[in-house]
Amino acid sequence: MVSRNGLPAICFSSIFLTWLVCVTVTAEEAKSSSPRTAKIGEGYRLISIEDTPDGAIVGVLQVKHNNNVYGPDIPLLRLYVKHETENRLRVHMTDAKKQRWEVPYNLLPREQPPALKQNIKKKTLTRSVSEYSGSELVFSYTSDPFSFAVKRKSNGDTLFDSSSSPLVFKEQYLEISTKLPKDASLYGLGENTQAHGVKLYPNDPYTLYSTDISTINLNADLYGSHPVYMDLRNEGGKSYTHGVLLLNSNGMDVFYRGNSLTYKVIGGLFDFYFFSGPSPLNVLNQYTSFIGRPAPMPYWAFGFHQCRWGYHNLSVVEDVVENYQKAKIPLDVIWNDDDHMDGHKDFTLNPINYPHEKLLNFLDKIHNIGMKYIVIIDPGIAVNSSYGVYQRGMANDVFIKYEGEPFLAQVWPGAVYFPDFLNPKTVSWWGDEIRRFHELVPVDGLWIDMNEASNFCSGKCTIPKGKVCPSGTGPGWICCLDCKNITSTRWDNPPYKINASGVLAPVGFKTIATSAVHYNGVLEYDAHSIYGFSQAFATHKALQGLQGKRPFILSRSTYVGSGKYVAHWTGDNKGTWEDLRYSISAMLNFGIFGVPMVGSDICGFYPAPTEELCNRWIEVGAFYPFSRDHANYYSPRQELYQWESVAESARNALGMRYKLLPYLYTLNYEAHTSGAPIARPLFFSFPSYTECYGLSTQFLLGSSLMISPVLEQGKTQVKALFPPGTWYSLFDLTDTIVSKDGSYVTLDAPLHVVNVHLYQNTILPMQKGGLISKDARMTPFNLIVTFHAGATEGEAKGNLYLDDDELPEMNLGNGRSTYIDFHASVKEGTVKVWSQVQEGKFALDKGWIIDTIDVLGLNGSGALPRIELDGEPQMRGSNVQVSISEHKYLYGQGEVEKKILKVGLKGLNIPVGKNFAVSWKMGS
């Protein structure tokens, strides 16, 4: 295409394929945004540095030579460096004389550097050494030109080294680079859809700026901003991992070249945090200890969810619930997109299609069987003088301003104002509106969408006179306000153009103008990417204060620390095989970002998926931490019962998910207490096995449950990577794969089959399943115990966390939770399985029992063993039934000389909250 001024225009699709965005890119802009620009700055020299009483170091940097590319350099910078913990180092650089924007300390709590000094005099360098050492990390610096490096003590690795290019620090342009070894594997820097998989790919663009464009746009800045990466290195067969966070909410391009990484940021400051690891789980523990532990999720949130934009009335929703029950497909949560609203207005009900009394009766019905109900709310508040939410918002002065008046935008209701969640009054008003709505409709959670913030218009707009806007006909996302571009300020037209939307779109395009103003004069230019985060904070505070229960919130836009408050889905995807594959990388990335409760729209948001694709997608989506089918208004219906073949795949895959609910819920506890992702790349458990570093077609749940799905059309087999060790099929415990050094194995995968394998040395707690998590939760437990095939000696471990999931917190010591460590050993032919229970009363009061224990990989004969339970022999004819089966080798039989056995014990009736010990001697 050619734009009106004759320059080439780049077009891209967004939200729906029915509209195109065209952005004109001048030659100057394209050149200015290239990573290989002319010299932008000549760096800084260190003119003073000293130790502080709190154990930090503070220095002053002076610019060497000023130039005006992207604006003048800031003459003096203040350097502040501190080892904040044994494994976390902070490097903070800002204007030495003037306060600059940084992420608010009340929103992301952390230590504050000392106050800036107005009178700065050149001093001698009082530190006699150029190193500042902590327990594991060492900060070193060179004075002229100034650069710094971060090293690991234990192996001498350099984790970050800025000496390759000059430090640049201007009002609206900051640049810093680090060298990287060529064999470093990097992960993170999102949110984006990465065609090459979860591992960062050299020369792919990585732009961070929250934007409402759909996930079908590859390598573009999507809904969230997470300027953090994990660096995994393998040195002589031993792995080392560290993390690097640049805590900055301004728009930025990050150029990864394989042997270097360069940040180009359009505001704020440099606030680096380095996390020493050395394992991936260590990094996540350290990272979430700083940004906030992931929110505890209620038990029912791990059930299956169904949503659609286009449930036109309540009877359709009732039919959906009834049809899931008829099809015997598990369903825990039914959702409404904005169909329930009156004219798309937040906190309202459509009186005709969703009459209040009938909705309350429906909610009583589903609540009585344990199901839940969630609705959407968007941040844009309709400008409507008869609308109570708007009236109270205006009375409390809660909206973002432009030139002293609320900033006018357009979203689904038409003309809207955006609440300013950085304003304490807005947080209180928002909480009150949620309270009012909850009194009207007792929803079980909230879905905060469009919070990038999304705007169907750009620039300064007014409500048109003499026409209805929106008209009520045609697409609702076409701008109908009278608008004009805002390019007069340096905030709306910054000197450096980040690669916004993948096409150098203006930073205020289809969102809030960047020169709009928040509370205390904060510019949207600076605070843009934390809008969804600030709304998440306010929504979480409101829900937690409502009934004292554990909130469930789903947010589209996220930032560093959002996982403390919300779950995330990956936004508007397509019903394509490519999008199915991309969903795995997106899910794994959010685990690294500290948002473990994540999933993608199963079967795709739009357009219609094929029947085969929907079969395969539920076989993946059943194992997303957050598992929801969601479709577009304009797509055909795609609930899982719409095709009998998909219903069969759903019963199979979701049937297994519901058996795994106690395991998923325990992973939820681990995530909340240590930051460990629920869904993980394989390298988390096998960090020294380099073959899995770039693997994005398989994933782990927890440390040892591996999902290997079919991701290609027409395939009935899957080639899966098995890291070294023994793996057992969860759908047939006798199917065994022995992978001595790690190998690819071709597995059968007919249409209704998904391959799920459990690793050796694991104890997996499961239950019998059901159609609603409330019922599944009360069924008997069974423990799956795995040893390395044919092991004569071995140990296995597992754990189980149980609680009252209405509690706002997830911890022990409250009288309403139980934690169990399971252990098993095999030695000299004796097998023992036992438990160590903490605070067993809660589990005992619930009456949970362990009915079955299956032990896999045992060496011995098929003779029935003599069982002892808590030291007492279980006589023949007792309730305990013993079964012995021989394992079938799907791969690697030659690795084990003898046949291996599965021993099953049934009818044990062991109280979950009581310590137990089961043992027997295998026949020789």
To the query of whether residue 342 is one of the catalytic residues in this protein, the response is no
80 DSSP β-pair partners: 58, 92
Q: Is residue 622 within 8 Å of residue 651, measured between CB atoms?
A: no
Q: Please tell me the distance from the alpha carbon of residue 275 to that of residue 243, in angstroms, as a whole number.
A: 5
Q: What is the 3-state secondary structure (H, E, C) of 460-526?
A: EEECCCCCCCCCCCCCCCCCCCEEECCCCCCCCCCCCCCCHHHCCCCCCCCCCCCCCECHHHCEHHH
- State the Cα angle at 361 between 359 and 365, rounded to 5°: 115
C-alpha distance from residue 280 to each of 470, 489, 587, 701, 758 (Å): 50, 44, 16, 15, 21
Q: Is residue 567 within 8 Å of residue 550, measured between CB atoms?
A: no
- State the Cα angle at 617 between 706 and 194, rounded to 5°: 75
| Closest alpha carbon to 286 in 92, 154, 114, 135 | 135
Catalytic annotation, pick one of 339, 449, 524, 629: 449
Catalytic annotation, pick one of 332, 346, 572, 629: 572
To the query of whether residue 741 is one of the catalytic residues in this protein, the response is no
Q: Which residues contact 829 (CB under 8 A, 6 or more apart)?
A: 792, 859, 860, 921, 922, 924
Cis peptide leading into residue 166 (ω within 30°): no
Could you say which DSSP state residue 27 is in?
H
The three-class DSSP label of residue 675 is: coil
Helices H / strands E in the chain, number of each: 14, 55
Q: Please tell me the distance from the alpha carbon of residue 530 to that of residue 528, in angstroms, as a whole number.
A: 6
Q: Is residue 45 within 8 Å of residue 143, measured between CB atoms?
A: yes
Beta strands per DSSP E along 345-438: 372-377, 381-382, 401-402, 405-406, 408-411, 414-417
Q: Please tell me the distance from the alpha carbon of residue 283 to that of residue 699, in angstroms, as a whole number.
A: 19
| Closest alpha carbon to 788 in 686, 867, 895 | 895
| Closest alpha carbon to 533 in 221, 206, 103 | 103
Determine how many CB atoms are found less than 10 A away from the CB of residue 53: 6
Q: Is residue 160 within 8 Å of residue 139, measured between CB atoms?
A: no
To the query of whether residue 449 is one of the catalytic residues in this protein, the response is yes
Cis peptide leading into residue 191 (ω within 30°): yes
Catalytic annotation, pick one of 452, 639, 735, 803: 452
φ and ψ at 50, to 5 degrees?
-155, 160
| Closest alpha carbon to 260 in 187, 161, 142 | 161
* Residue type, position 290, single letter: F
Q: Please tell me the distance from the alpha carbon of residue 327 to that of residue 771, in angstroms, as a whole number.
A: 10
Task: For tokens 């003309």, name the residue.
Answer: 415
Q: Please tell me the distance from the alpha carbon of residue 742 to that of residue 352, in angstroms, as a whole number.
A: 61
Could you say which DSSP state residue 893 is in?
G
Could you say which DSSP state residue 2 is in?
B
| Closest alpha carbon to 307 in 373, 368, 379 | 373
Strands 16-24 and 44-51: unpaired
Q: Which residues contact 750 (CB under 8 A, 6 or more apart)?
A: 716
Helix or strand (DSSP H, E) at 322: helix 314-327
Q: Please tell me the distance from the alpha carbon of residue 46 to that of residue 60, in angstroms, as a whole number.
A: 6
Would you name the residues annotated as active-site residues? 449, 452, 572
